[in-house]
Every structure is written in C-alpha cells, then in structure tokens.
C-alpha cells in the first residue's frame, strides 16, 4: 500500500466525528396523580453534535414529602420490543440518601443523576424536583454492564406506597465494555 493511501486513511480516521457512546433517543414523563405532581418540563435538547441533554422539572403540589419510593427498571430492546434486563430495583429514597452504601447498584444510576439535580439531600422534600441538562457520559455507567444496544430506563416515584409519576428514558449505547477495555489498556 502506498504511503499516500496510508496517510489518507490515517487522516480520515483522525478527523471522524466524535460522538457519545451513550445517547438519549426519547423521553416520556407521565403524571399518575396530578393532585400531587405535575411536570412543568420534560424534554430532550440537542446541545451539540451527538450531545443530547435531558431536562425534567416536576412540580410538587403537596409538601413536605417524607416517604419516597423509587422503582428503577431497565429494559433492553430485542426482536419483539423491550424486555426486562438486569435490574428491577425498589428503594426507599429517604433511606438511600441517608446511607448510599446500602444500595450499591442503585447508587450507580443515582450518582449519574445527582450532579444535575436538586434532589441530592435527605427527606423531607419541600421543593420542586429538577434534573437539568443531564448529558450521559460513558464514565457515568462504567460499573453497569451495558452491552451495545437500545435501552429503556423506567423510573417510578411513589409517595406513601402510591405511585405518583413515571419517567421513561430511552438510550442507545455503543459497546461500553469495549470502550473501557481500550481505555484501561491505554493507561497501562
């Protein structure tokens, strides 16, 4: 192969567009009890090429909230739609915020959300719940074994054992394990 052709291939590979390995594709926010919660904002916003941010603003109508349950379910898209995948975790959010080490799997997902949210303290919650401009990065889910594919994350919020709202986010991932193997081998 000529040196010119090798150089051209190298230039093409070096200048290819950089894209996120994790990307939001859709977001749905459902209010199950409008007297308790309503969504003022629930959208995805393109911030740049391949960079999509999630914003959700949940208005609380009955405060303070002292008893919050969160159900996190993950689904992977297969031939026949979305199927349960790996996690279906129910957690007392107030207890989780007091002791995050007690729920290590749930902490992986919540640690990704916390920097973009005002829901980063223990109960009671006496203000609106906001997640603003959350962009998923590869390192956020480094501990979660997500092979490449399409995923649905369903987050249900309950108060006093009654479901009040549901946030469903759809993500596409490249193979994160391959990314981390390459990253780890570069550091050595």
Domains of the chain by start residue, with CATH = 17-185 (2.70.220)
- In degrees and rounded to multiples of 5, residue 100 shows phi and psi of -70, -25
Q: Where are the beta strands (DSSP E) in 32-80?
A: 37-48, 51-60, 68-78
Q: How much of the chain is helix, strand and coil, in % rounded to 5?
A: 25, 45, 25
Q: How far apart are the first and last CA of the chain?
A: 31
The highest-confidence range among 20-34, 135-149, 153-167, by mean pLDDT, is 153-167
Asked if 72 and 87 touch (Cβ cutoff 8 Å), the reply is yes
How far apart (Å, rounded) are the C-alpha atoms in residues 110 and 113? Answer: 5
How far apart (Å, rounded) are the C-alpha atoms in residues 59 and 78? Answer: 35
pTM metric for this prediction: 0.78
pLDDT at 73 over 90: yes
pLDDT at 90 over 70: yes
pLDDT score for 176? 52
Provide the 3-class DSSP secondary structure of residue 3. helix
Asked if 103 and 91 touch (Cβ cutoff 8 Å), the reply is yes
């Amino acid at each position: 192969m000529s040196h010119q052709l090798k150089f051209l291939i190298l230039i093409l590979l070096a200048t290819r567009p950089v894209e996120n390995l994790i990307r939001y594709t859709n977001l749905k926010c459902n209010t199950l009890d409008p007297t308790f919660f309503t969504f003022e904002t629930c959208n995805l916003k393109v911030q740049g090429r391949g960079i999509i941010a999630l914003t959700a603003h949940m208005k609380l109508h009955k405060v303070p909230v002292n008893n919050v349950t969160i159900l996190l379910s993950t689904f992977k898209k297969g031939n026949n739609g979305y199927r349960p995948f790996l996690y279906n975790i129910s957690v007392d959010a107030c207890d989780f915020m007091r002791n995050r080490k007690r729920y290590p799997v749930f902490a992986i997902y919540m640690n990704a959300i916390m920097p973009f949210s005002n829901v980063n303290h223990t109960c009671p919650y006496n203000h609106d719940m906001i997640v603003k401009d959350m962009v998923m990065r590869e390192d956020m889910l480094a501990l979660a074994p997500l092979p490449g594919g399409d995923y649905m994350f369903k987050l249900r919020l309950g108060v006093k054992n009654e479901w009040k709202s549901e946030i469903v986010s759809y993500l596409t991932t490249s193979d994160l394990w391959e990314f981390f193997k390459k990253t780890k081998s570069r550091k050595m």
